[in-house]
Structures are given as structure tokens and as C-alpha cells.
Amino acid sequence: MPSNSSQQPLTGLNVADFSWFAAGPICAESMAVHGATVVRVESESHMDGLRGVGPFPTGKTGYNVSGWYNNYNANKLNVTLNLNTEKGRDLAMRLVGWADVFITNITPRVIERWGFTYDQLVKTRPDIIAVYQPMQGFDGPHRDFLGFGAVLGPITGINHLTGFPDRPPAGMGTNYPDYVINPQHTLTAILAALRYRKRTGKGQRVELSQLESVVASLAPAVMDYAANGRVQTRAGNRIPHAAPHGAFPCQGIKIETVFGEQDEGRWCVIACFSDGQWASLRSAMGDPDWAKRADFDTHAGRKEHEDELEEGIGAWTSERSPEAVMETLQAAGVPAAVIQNARDCLEADAHLREREYYVYLDHPEAGRTAYDGPGFRLSKTPAQYRTPAACLGEHNEQVCKEILGLSDEEIADLMVEQVLY
């Protein structure tokens, strides 16, 4: 098993990870990098769908090389159990008996079919902390609805607020709830349940409705309607209390792609929250004639003529690199930043590089790849990334022997019966 440092805060905690895709695995990985022993359960017939989704290292294919999957599953052991068989479910229950925490984000009807409800789990492990992440909760008319972050965006209202007012809702362009909100809300709940168990000796059931977890992040828009009857909608990059406030085009660069050399657009965001910041921006641009008009001197005037304001600023930024724009404006006291892409974050961002945010691990099939670092840092007990994401079924024998207590003969029989595969 991966060796856990005595300095890790969750050393000795055992986690049975029956989740898939992102919301559950990211939460479980947070526990794994802080010392917990996490066993990820999959099967060849029900493997994590992210295993088949890129990006993949150039020239490499298969279920073990997805950068998307691997990024969320460092430090875990991996076992393949066929949960559609009685013996597979029996082994799963033996794993529950070993675990302190059980976590899953599969739908309620599958939970019930496999016998993984809290009432069933406590018969095996009375003090289990059983964590469920149904998309919309265990009751209500939508309890059995399937979905991912791309579905949660629209139904929680995120998409309605994202995009430009004269265009259809754009959404976040990624499954934002899966990565940011739901895993950390779940982790907080697990830590609270662990504290409760430490004090009382009792486990409990944790239910995180992903719908409700995400709706909580839209509190200002909900409050605006509750208090004022106003339905907020898409405003592009603009906000009521700043002008300018937007993303402005800058000099692009040439990049080599599989399709040959192509132009890559670059951008810089600029925001002025006061008339003083606008005056500083105007000075940094060389006090051009177009910017001297009197109605730009006040916030109200700039908001009224925001199209013209942005057109003038865009003409100035388009002649410069985003880095030059950012450095010039920041030196003048104007909020500005480069809109970074993945290459910028991995290679060009001096701040991320000096803090060593990205962790590089050597995977037996994918090679040396970058993993996201921890979302938080503990000064005395920091996260440790010890092993890359496991290959499918990589630890079958190890888990069966060391955790489930099976003999070589029993393991062989289970493989022949396709219970362990």
C-alpha cells in the first residue's frame, strides 16, 4: 500500500470510493493526498467514463492514459468488482466493513438496487460515514434524474447568467460544479462527520444534493429577485459598478499545431472601479483625444457610453501584448491581468511556478504528467502526492489479500467467475 507519512492529518482513515467522473473522485483524492487510504472501485463493465475522455498523451491510447481521469485519482488504490453479481456486492460490503468513509455519486435507484443504502451499510459497519452525492437529492420528483456538471449549469441558473445579453446562454464551457463547489462542500461535510464520530463514536449519513450545493453559489442573484423582484441576466463581462470592465484583445502569437502554424488570440482584462482608476488608465494610454470627452469623467457617463469606451481601449490594447498591457496598467494602479491559457499556467506563470502548485508524477502508461496541486495548504501537515492515478484493476490482488483477506485460490476463482475483473 502507499506509505502514509505520520505527519498527514488523515493517516489511518480508510475510504471506499464508489464514485465516478469528478465530484466524488476529487473529494476522495483530497482525502488521499492528506493521508487517507482510498480504494477506488470500478469494473470493466462500469469503469469511470472519464477514462475514455481526453486529453491523451500523444500517441498513447487506452483506459489508463486519460489526463482528465488521472488528474483526479492520485494516491488511490484501484480494484475492479462486478457489482452486478451477488459475490461482487458481497466483496463490496467487506470493503465497507474496512472503511471509515463510503462515498458515491451514483443515482439513488442504483444505490438501492445494489443495496448500498445507509440502512444496509450500517449493518456491516455501524459507525460508517456514508456519503451520497445524488444530483438532486434522495427525495423529490427529480430524485432519479441523471446528470453531470453540464446539466447542473443550466438547472441551477449559472448558464442564464453566463454570456452576452444579445446571445443565447453560453454556460461555463466546462463542468464547473463538479470541480469546485460539490467536492469541497462534500469534503467539509465529511470532516464534520468525522469530528462528530470522534466525539460520540457514531457515524452518520451525509447527503449532498449537487443541485442545492450549486444553487448556493448564486445567492446574490437569488437575493436580488427575493428582495427586488429583479431577474438578473447575462451582461457579458460588464458589471454595474465598474466601467470599463471587460476582456480586451491584444497582440496574438503564432503557434504550431497539428494543422500547421496558426494565430492564437491573446487577451487582457481591465477594470476601473473609480473615477481615479479611469484617470490612471487614460494617462497610461497616453491620454488619447478620444478618452478626453467629458462624459467619460464619471462612472455614470462611462456606463452610458460603454460601447465607445471599450472600442477605444481595445484599439490601444490590440497593439500590445497582454503582458505589456497588464504590467503597464498595474504599475499605474489599474486592475488588469492576462487571460491565461493552459500553456501560460503551466509554463509562463512565475507565481504558480515558484509556489510549485502543479505536481508532476510518473505514470506507467501515460508517462510524466502534471496534476493539480491541493486546493488548500496546511502548514504543519501538507498534502503529499505519492503515487499517480492507478491503472484499471492495478491493485486487485493487493486489495483482495491485504484488505479483504482473500486467498490466492479465492482470488483466482473470482477472476474466473468475472466477479473480480
CA 195 – CA 312 distance, rounded (Å): 57
Tell me the torsion sign for CA atoms 285, 291, 292, 296: negative
Check 17, 48, 100, 178 and give the catalytic one.
178
| 287 tagged catalytic | no
CA 148 – CA 169 distance, rounded (Å): 18
CA 312 – CA 317 distance, rounded (Å): 9
CA 54 – CA 227 distance, rounded (Å): 44
Residue from 264, 117, 259, 138 nearest 207 by CA: 138
CA 371 – CA 360 distance, rounded (Å): 6
CA 243 – CA 76 distance, rounded (Å): 48
Q: Do 50 and 21 meet the contact criterion of CB atoms below 8 Å apart?
A: yes
Q: Give the 3-state secondary structure of residue 212.
A: helix
User: Burial, 344: exposed, middle or buried (Cβ in 10 Å; 0-12, 13-18, 19+)?
Assistant: middle
Helices and strands (H, E) in the chain, number of each type: 18, 11
CA 96 – CA 81 distance, rounded (Å): 13
Amino acid (one-letter) located at 381: T
The two most distant CA atoms of the chain are separated, in Å, by: 86
Q: What does residue 232 show for φ and ψ, rounded to 5 degrees?
A: -65, 150
Residue 239 is classified by DSSP as: B
Tell me the HSE value of 262 on the side-chain side, using a 13 A CA sphere: 7
**Lookup: cell for 379:** 502548514
- Please identify every residue annotated as catalytic: 178
